[in-house]
Amino acid sequence: MGDYYLEMKNNRKNLFLLYLLFGFVFIGSWFPAMVIYSKITFDQSGTYFESFGILICSIIPILLTGNSIAAIISKIGVCKTAILGLLFNGLIALALIFMNSKIAILLLVAIESVAWSMVYPMRPISIKKLFPNELQNQVVAGISRLRAISVIISPPIAALAIKQWTLGIIMLVFSILCIAAIFIVISLCHQVDEYPSLTSSNGSRNNVFKEFIIHSKPLNIIAGGMFIVITFDLIYPLYIRDYSTGGLESFSALLMSFGLGAVFSSIVFRVREAKNSVLWGFLSVGLGLLLYKIITPIPVEALLIIAFITGFSSTSVFISTNTNLQKSPQFTANTAVAMNMATAVGQLVSIGLASVIFFFEPNYFFIGVITIIAVVIVIVPWTLSNFLQFFKR
């Protein structure tokens, strides 16, 4: 019994370190991405080009580089790969100080998505190594809370920084935080990389796909990508269209509503799994699209309710799927890479659904056409290749 309490005490210490780590990681990658999005939104309200560009630039690179990241992890380990990803994010933060071109910013978005893919496997691997199964739900919920907080506070910061040197100072601070995160990752490296079975699985395409299929629930992961993208790629453009004159206060209220839904979900599912998370997600998607289709323009109250439900449901999916995966004894960094790629697939699927629902809106139709092309070029060959290798003896 004494050993158990000692283990719990050590886990609490590790919990603090991990919260600190992912606080820096989210500020170093997720938060800059939100600031980039908000900056573009406020710079040119009422247009769809920027939303479309961010969508494609943030999804396609994840699919194109997933197997390469798995190979890098198999060579140098999950921690060193995460350090490289954080360094890239630091460079992106510095580059944003001097970037005014929209195309250049979109390229940075693409690089940021790859960098985030390099950092991402560190989270589930660290949680699996440092915490017993009964605590993992709480850890994942806590990380979700950090992400929700970053969503809530990023738009006001970006808005205040438009066309001011404040933006440069903010991005410089991000770079410093990224460097600090690197040192924290290094401090955890010896705890994680001592266990090769957690960090490597030969880096082959076959193993990435095989582990994902066997040790996860692909439908849940893909659905999670769909639910999350509903907010960022459907709610925001429609909000800009209908409420571009609402100003900073109403835009911030929308994001705060999403963030509050995510925080509430992280509290509800902190100590138990969201077994019906997929149902929550479909409720979010169905309610949102129904209101979008029927009500024009959408009452701002309805929009805030949709954002809250979407934040709640997408976070419940995130918590349950991540916890279930991490509990698998065979979970590896390659599985995490495959999970990230599957989430991107879910995002592409949701774009296709949007193009059907909003068929008569040229912008969504255009996005749908590009999505079909992306699926043909990226998804189909990747899936066929992995299926063939999966069944090959």
Percent of the chain with pLDDT over 90: 0
What are 357-386's pLDDT values in tens digits?
A: 555 455 555 555 655 565 555 555 555 554
Could you tell me which CATH class the domain 2-391 is placed in?
mainly alpha
| Residue 220 or residue 59, greater confidence | 59
pLDDT band at 206 (very low <50, low <70, confident <90, very high): very low
Please state, in angstroms and rounded to a whole number, the distance separating the CA atoms of residues 203 and 218. Answer: 20
| Residue 125 or residue 253, greater confidence | 125
Is-contact 300 307, C-beta < 8 A?
no
Report the mean per-residue pLDDT for the chain. 60
Enumerate the domain spans of the chain. 2-391
pLDDT band at 4 (very low <50, low <70, confident <90, very high): very low
Three-state secondary-structure class, residue 25: helix
Q: Of 3-17, 30-44, 83-97, 145-159, which one has max mean pLDDT?
A: 83-97
pLDDT attached to residue 342: 65
pLDDT attached to residue 226: 54
The token duo for 29 is 């990658």
Place of tokens 């056409």: 369
Name the DSSP class of 253. H
Please state, in angstroms and rounded to a whole number, the distance separating the CA atoms of residues 293 and 297. Answer: 10
Res. 336: pLDDT tops 60: yes
